[in-house]
Each structure stands twice: as structure tokens, then as C-alpha cells.
A and B are shown apart, each in its own frame.
Chain A
């Protein structure tokens, strides 16, 4: 009964979303306050019914209702409860339901927290979000019903793919979707701006960008956390110690992240200085378009990977049509109305605006090259021009030369003044830091015999970290001190995120440059050398888990000059329901290195293949990413975003303009 109620709630949500898409937008165009006032109630109701439907599916998983085909395909009565809940988004249908559920939550949040905005703007923003909800709810209802029954019900379910039976599965998809879908808010604001902008009259700089900024920062922060968690999960779960594979599915989340990063910087410029106006609108459109493209790539089945579920051409077609309608429609609107939004205030060649413009160009170029590498094989294949693959070497070759100048610029940017900045001033402030970074890199390279690439990476990281800390120090020290507690959230956010990038870059550089891997073939009792370690395979034993059986090896790793050995217990598991083998690596984590041991297959004469890897500073990759995500959260929480009226601006050209909420309608 409950699954049918869930379906009913989904149908009602679809109808409500249709109304939410049509009525407020129409009302705002026709200036009908009663239709405009419908925006919030409709958005709230739509969100409520989607949530009810989502809860019904979770409930079916919790109660092991295997008469629901989707539940039977992704759960099993032996599966522990947290994984049964996570099973809700382990397949195509449920993950789409999670998508609209999260869109519903963002919609509700916008409806509740937009009291300071003009009613017509709220109506347009919620209307645009309603269009997106309608598209996705229709997609679920017409092609991917998660509540379909299969009667008679099977006695037990097919179990969750063992790769997905991990705490990472509980948190990674919801966080990632919070990010992806959150860009819909910035998108909706941008579309509303395109509709509302009046040619010839540039609006005050604190209009839509001010409102959209905390939403975008929050979404970006979630996206960062989601990607970070996925990478961390892949590192230990896939069993072979990689943390980023340039897999098309990873790229699908990385492209919106790159454009989103450009967007939060460009929003800051438009919000405080009024420059980059129509560029910011375009970035908001692109960030969400890439999120949609990511959903299309992952969910349509054009890619084959862990993330690709059973493919059905109707589904791919629906997403493709929806994607073209949203992207094509919004870009057409942009082409038609961008001039009305205007370019915004001018700035000098050396200024903070210029630095941020170059930042935007580099990030957009990075997103473009990733897009090219991701789509090129698909396009060739679709046109029947041959099967190719574009691997990590391509992406590394193009991304590194784009990221290095970005890091150099990142150190300088915050020191530059808005509008116009005397170049000598920044040089005087930063020359010692620059010299310091170069010295650190050179000394490290000579002392540790590093390659040029590693030295460059370390130098750039040292530069980013020292320039960021020095800038923080200058802000906190007199004269003009603002004091620790007076420093606004967005400043803290910037400092945290920039430090995070430095830490992340140290991790990436050292892992890439100095990691080692040794494959050994060992029988119980054997000892062999793996780099600095002597590895003893003491024994292998059978172990029983809730829904798997495992062979667990015991390995002692002794480093030269160390008395007590490191004991690691990697496993080879067999998940019994699906009869799927899995490698469960054993990792000794450390601040300066991880020792990562995994088991390969066993031969009839009881020899095991053991892979021993040492990964220097690998933890810094995720520590850096955590700092970046926290930075986004701190900036999103900046109290100034929640003020009703904008702050008085020193810039004389905007001082005369009324803030939008006070303008006559």
C-alpha cells in the first residue's frame, strides 16, 4: 500500500511542479499579484509531496519490501540497515528520486529564506526551479518508476553491489547532489535577472548576485565535500590505491566544480564592484548546464562504469531533450538579453578585478579541456568513427599547466586593490614571499633530489600558503586592524579555501612524484623486500562477515631501523548473494605517508599476490579538500549576505542608486 501512496505523492508533486513552473512566471510577467503570491505555497507543497514519496521508498527499503522491483534489485534481507537506506539511491530510479527530493529541499529553502526579495523576483526564481522539477518528475513518472511492483514478490533481494556497501555510499551521493542541484538556485536567479534586466539602465550591483551568492557558495561547498568523499571512498574501496581516475563520471562532477569555482569568484566581483555582470550570468547558466550534463552522462547509460545503471534508450532520449531544452533555452535567452544586463563597471589592467578575470578564464579553460576529453570519445563513437579512450595522461598534461599559473595568481590576487592597483605596491609587499617560495622549492629539490615538476608543485604550494597567511596577518594587525572576530565570514572562507588549495597541491605533488608500488608473490611464511620495508606474510585465515566470506592475510611490514613491525590485514572477500569477489585493502594512515596493502589472487600452490604501496602525503589531498569545503561554508554563512538592505558603497557611481527592494515597482 505504501509504495502506491508514494507513487500517488509523486504524481501530485508533478502536477504541483507544473503549476509552480507556469503560474508564478506568468503572474510576474502580467503583473498579477495573486498569481505571484502562489509561488511560495506551490513550491512548499511540491517539496512536501516529493518528500513524502521519497520517504515511502526509503520505508520500502527499511521494511525489506521485495515486492517493489527496485528494492528487490538493490537490497537483501541480510544487508545491514544503513546500507538498505543507502540502497534507495543505489540505482537509476531511486537516485533520480533523490535528485528531485534535493531540488525540493533547495526550493523549500529558497521559498522560506527569501523574505527580503521583491515578490516578482521570488516568483520567477521559484518558477524556473519549478520547470526543472517538472522535467525531472516527468522523467521519473514516464520512464523510471521506482515503485513498480513485481508480483509475486521474490523471497529475497539481489543485494546491493558490494562496491557500494560502504559508509561512503550513505553520504557521497546526497552530498554530491546537494552540490549539483544547488547550482539550480544560482541558475534560477540568473534567469530571473535576464528576464528582469532593463536595457540602458544598469541596475545597482547588489541585486541578484548578492542574493544568489550564499546559495551558490553553499552548493559549491556541498559539491566540494561530495567529490572529496567520492575520491576518499574510491581510494580505499576500489582496492588499488588510486584517488582520482579521470573517469568520465568523475569529470562529470569536476566540470561543474571548476565552473562553480569561477562563478563564486565572479559573483563576488559583481556583488561588491558591479563588474563582470553578464559574464556572471553566463557562468551561472553554464555551471547548472554542466550539472545537468553530468546527470545525463551518468544516468543515461552512455558511459559504462559503476555509476551507469541499466540503460534504456527512452531514458537517454528524455534527458537529452530536457538537457537541450534547458541549456538551449537559457543560452538563447542569454543571447537575447545579455546586453540588457550590461557589462558593468570598468577597471584597470592591474587590479583585483583583472586578477579575478584571469582566474575565471583559467578555470573556464580547464573546464573546457576536461569537457573535450570527456565528450570526444563519446562523439567519435556516436558517429561511428572508431573507439578511443582518453586516459589520465591527457588530463594531467592539460590541467597542470592551467593550474600552476592559477596558483601563482591566487597568491597575488588578494593583495591587489579593487579598480586600480599600483603594481609596485604589490611587488613591494610580496617580493620576500616570492623569494621564499622559490628558495623552498630549490632547496627541497636539491636536498631530496626531486624532479622539476615536483619542485614546481611544492614551490607553488608554498607560495599560495605563505601569501594567504601573510595577507591574513596584515588584515589582523594594525593599522586598520579588523580583529579576529570582526573579520567577515567571506574573508575567513577565502583564507580557508586558499590554504586548502595549497595543502591539496602539496598532497597531489608528492603522491604523484614520490609514490612507490611493489608487487610481491608470497606463500605463508615468506619474506620479501618492498622498497624500505621488509614484508612477511605470516598467514591467511577464513573470516565470516554478515553477507560475505573473506580470506584475511596477516602481513608484518618492518622498516629498516624500526623495532616493531606494522601489522596489516588485507582481505579478499566473496559476497555470497551475487558471488562477487572484492579486494579489501588494509591501510596504515599517517600524516606523512600511507602504507597501502592489497591482496591479489591466490594460485593453487597457495601463493598470494601482494601489492605494497607507499603513498607520501596522500592524506593532505583530502585534508586540503576539507579546508576548501569549510571555506565555502564559512563564506556562505557570512552575516552580511543576510542583511536586508545593502551596505552603503564608497563608490560614488553607485551611491545614488536605490537598492532594488526600495525601488518603485
Chain B
């Protein structure tokens, strides 16, 4: 290859710019498509959560709300931020540390059908150890108001 140094440098710069542009396009589009936003039950009930797009909802699993349907696979429970509650449906095994009265974050989308809103989860996340509450869940409860229950949040004063 007998290119003049000036041309060679130009080629390098053009190549680098093209790569950079490609990388930027990739990153931005991947970000836009795959960001998952978080909403508290109050926000979901107020209609702030998107329809037909995956998002996360978090709070406490309401005591006494957990029920497994006769197929043995599907569970229903209610996520609450102590003010509002969202019913959740999930098919599959729940994480080890999933418990009523404790923090939880579910990822999925709102049921497209009419009637009361149901959140169809494809992923349920619970805390990693008994002292830890998903920060989103803690915040949802804290944001919902001062009437925070004693159970659940380890950050409670």
C-alpha cells in the first residue's frame, strides 16, 4: 500500500469516526429499547405507567394476598406501597426470599384487557438477604406517605 501519510491519516480518522458513529447509534438505540422504568403502585393506579411496555413495580407483598392457582404454577399476590395496591400475576417459581409483608420488585406489563388493572410479571425479584429490601420497594413505601408499617423496611427509624 503506497498511500501518502496525509491520506493514510485521513483514512484512519474516517475509519475511527465511522466506528464511533456506529457505536453511538447502537448504544443509543439499545438504551432506548431496553430501559426499564420503575413505578410505585400509586403511580400505576394514577395511570402514569406505560401501557404495552415492560416496566417495574415495587413495594411490599400484602399480607394474606398470596395465592397459588389450581394449576400449581400461577401465583397471584398484591404489591402495595401502603396507600395503593396493584394485583400481580406470575407464572413460575418465586424467589427463595419472597415473603408476605416483605419487599418485592416485579417486572412485566399491565394486562391489555379492560376491567381492573392487573400486572402480568415475567420476573419477580426479592431481596438477597433478610436485612435487605430492594431500594425501589423501600422508596415506593417511603414516598407513599408517613403511615409506614413497622414490618418490612429495615430502614424504618
Contacts and interface: CB of A to CB of B under 8 A. Distances in A.
Interface of A: 161, 163, 239, 304-306, 308, 348-350, 361, 365, 368-369, 372-373, 376, 386-391, 393-394, 397-398, 401-402, 420, 423, 519, 521, 578-583, 598-601, 603, 607, 609, 611
B56 A389 contact: yes
B3 interface: yes
B72 A239 contact: no
Contacts of B29: 397
A401 B26 contact: yes
A579 B96 contact: no
Given A349-B1, A391-B34, A401-B26, A163 B72 contact: no
Contacts of A163: 128-129
B92 A600 contact: yes
Interface of B: 1, 3, 8, 11-12, 16, 19, 23, 26-27, 29-31, 33-38, 56, 68, 71-73, 91-94, 96-97, 128-130, 132, 134-136, 139
Given A349-B11, A609-B72, A600 B128 contact: no
B37 A304 contact: no
21 contacts: A163-B129, A304-B132, A306-B128, A308-B132, A361-B16, A369-B27, A387-B38, A388-B37, A394-B35, A397-B26, A397-B34, A398-B26, A401-B26, A423-B1, A521-B72, A578-B129, A580-B129, A580-B130, A600-B94, A609-B72, A609-B93
A601 B72 CA distance: 10
Given A305-B128, A386-B38, A402-B23, 19 more contacts: A304-B134, A306-B128, A349-B8, A372-B27, A372-B31, A387-B56, A389-B38, A393-B30, A393-B34, A394-B31, A398-B30, A420-B1, A519-B73, A519-B92, A582-B96, A599-B93, A600-B92, A600-B93, A609-B93
A521 B27 CA distance: 41
A549 B56 CA distance: 34
B27 A388 contact: no
Nearest to A402: B23
Contacts of B26: 369, 397-398, 401
Contacts of B31: 372-373, 376, 390, 394
A252 to B, nearest CB: 16
B72 A603 contact: yes
A368 B27 CA distance: 10
A611 B93 contact: yes
Contacts of B129: 161, 163, 306, 578, 580
Given A304-B132, A391-B36, A609-B92, A521 B73 contact: yes
B130 A579 contact: yes
Contacts of A398: 23, 26-27, 30
Tell me which of A305, A397, A580 has the highest count of chain B C-beta atoms within 10 A of its own C-beta.
A397
Nearest to B138: A304
A611 B93 CA distance: 8
Contact of A397 (B3, B8, B30, B73): B30
A33 B97 CA distance: 61
A369 B28 CA distance: 10
B37 A390 contact: no
Contact of B136 (A387, A397, A401): A387
B1 A348 contact: yes
B92 A349 contact: no
Given A582-B96, A600-B94, A394 B34 contact: yes
Contacts of A578: 129-130
Contacts of B56: 387, 389
Contacts of B68: 603
A389 B97 contact: no
Given A376-B31, A609-B72, A389 B36 contact: yes
A580 B97 contact: yes
Contacts of A306: 128-129
A563 to B, nearest CB: 30
What secondary structure prevails in chain A residues at the interface with B?
mixed
A393 B26 CA distance: 12
Nearest to B94: A601
A350 B1 contact: yes
A-B CB proximity, top 10 nearest: A600-B93, A521-B72, A387-B38, A397-B30, A394-B34, A393-B34, A609-B93, A581-B96, A607-B72, A306-B128
A579 B102 CA distance: 15
A350 B3 CA distance: 11
A167 to B, nearest CB: 20
Contacts of B35: 388-390, 394
Nearest to B31: A394
A295 to B, nearest CB: 19
B73 A609 contact: yes
B93 A365 contact: no
A658 B73 CA distance: 75
A129 B1 CA distance: 45
A631 B103 CA distance: 45
A305 B126 CA distance: 11
Tell me which of B27, B34, B132, B134 has the highest count of chain A C-beta atoms within 10 A of its own C-beta.
B34
A427 to B, nearest CB: 13
B71 A521 contact: yes
A450 B128 CA distance: 37
Contacts of A401: 26
A420 B2 CA distance: 11
A13 B20 CA distance: 46
B36 to A, nearest CB: 5
Tell me which of B23, B56, B136 has the highest count of chain A C-beta atoms within 10 A of its own C-beta.
B23
A369 B23 contact: yes
B150 to A, nearest CB: 19
A361 B35 CA distance: 26
Contacts of A599: 93
A369 B25 CA distance: 12
Contacts of A609: 72-73, 92-93
A561 B132 CA distance: 48
A598 B30 CA distance: 32
Tell me which of A388, A389, A393 has the highest count of chain B C-beta atoms within 10 A of its own C-beta.
A389
A600 B92 CA distance: 8
A447 to B, nearest CB: 31
A603 B37 CA distance: 33
B68 to A, nearest CB: 5
A446 B14 CA distance: 38
Contacts of B132: 304, 308
Contact of A304 (B34, B94, B135): B135
A350 B26 CA distance: 27
A391 B130 CA distance: 24
A402 B12 CA distance: 18
Contacts of A420: 1
A401 B26 CA distance: 9
Contacts of A603: 68, 72
B33 A393 contact: yes
A390 B27 CA distance: 12
Contacts of B130: 578-580
A423 to B, nearest CB: 7
A374 B101 CA distance: 30
A566 to B, nearest CB: 21
B12 to A, nearest CB: 8
A304 to B, nearest CB: 5
